[in-house]
Amino acid sequence: MTGAPPTSGSLFCFGLGYSARHLIGRLDRSAWSIAGTVRGPQSALSWRDNGIDAYVFDGTTPTPGIEAALAKATHVLLSAPPGADGDPVLAHYRASLAASPALTWIGYLSTVGVYGEHNGGWVDETTPAAPVSARSKNRRAAEQAWKACSAETGKRVVIFRLAGIYGPGRSAIDSVRQGRARRIIKPGQRFNRIHVTDIANAVMASMDGRGDATILNVTDDLPAPPQDVIAYAAELLGLPPPPAVQFDEADLSPMARSFYGENKRVRNDLMKRDLGLELTYPTYREGLTALLRDTNS
């Protein structure tokens, strides 16, 4: 079973980013009231032109209008990144969320990075979090803060730990086509991925009241070496595989290099069982094949 959109409601998204956009695209706009936050006024205007109430919120100060929107929200989705000083939404809107009479569900988009380094071993939701990077440590602190908020307010909070996100305009197909791709070789390295459609499926199923778990790994079925994904994209495009570069010799940004500092394989059994889902794209092969078909159609 794939995710079916909840029938109706009022959704507020803290962070109208890539994943939220794809979720919104699946909802019946005649039955859903949708609002959210962006970083700048130009982006807010673009969203408003498309019928979405958008508010500029940079995390440092409250924004007029958001409290009133939260008072009507039935569902709140959070993807705005936390900083070293904590989660900006909790800092400014915790009381508003607690007081919202219609609010039945809060979803928090986190990362499998909170598990840290496991030398290629398997992890699941029972594995203790041991984040390594500052980015993942901030996410773990935010997870704990949202769990505490749930316990104190009685609002249901579901934490979705996402693997590497790909989808339209954001995949190995795009990087190979644009000549940016390299096959970076680090022996034994594995990453999970997740197509943005399957993120939307999982979030919608939870919004619709399915499941009891409060932490879910949202990942594909096949943790795979990154160079294999690039090679497969090139094969689909009928292009030679990009050059192979040893990890130690690769010119990577500090953020990109930090991803290679963690090696684990992430199980998704609980997500499937708890939400009653099967993945639309269980591996990168199905996902990339569909992306190429859609771009060529």
pLDDT tens column, 142-201: 999 999 999 999 999 999 999 999 999 999 999 999 999 999 999 999 999 999 999 999
Distance CA 206, CA 203 (A): 5
Strands 157-162 and 105-111: parallel
pLDDT value of position 259: 86
Q: For the whole prediction, is pTM greater than 0.85? A: yes
CA–CA distance from 22 to each of 18, 101, 165, 167 (Å)? 7, 27, 12, 10
Residue 110: strand pairing partners:
161
Which residues in the chain come in under a pLDDT of 50? 1-2
pLDDT value of position 6: 66
pLDDT value of position 254: 86
Question: Residue 27: phi, psi to the nearest 5?
Answer: -85, 150
- The contacts of residue 153 (CB under 8 Å, 6+ apart) are 97, 98
Q: What is the torsion angle, in degrees rounded to the nearest 10, for the CA atoms of residue 88, residue 93, residue 97 and residue 100?
A: -150
Q: What is the 3-state secondary structure (H, E, C) of 35-78?
A: EEEECCHHHHHHHHHCCCEEEECCCCCCCCCHHHHHHHCCEEEE
Distance CA 234, CA 128 (A): 37
The token pair that represents 245 in the structure block:
């570069």
The token pair that represents 267 in the structure block:
């199980």
The token pair that represents 59 in the structure block:
């995390």
Residue type, 289: T
- The pLDDT tens digits of the residues spanning 248-263 come to 998 888 888 888 989 9
Angle at 269 between CA 264 and CA 273, to 5 degrees: 160
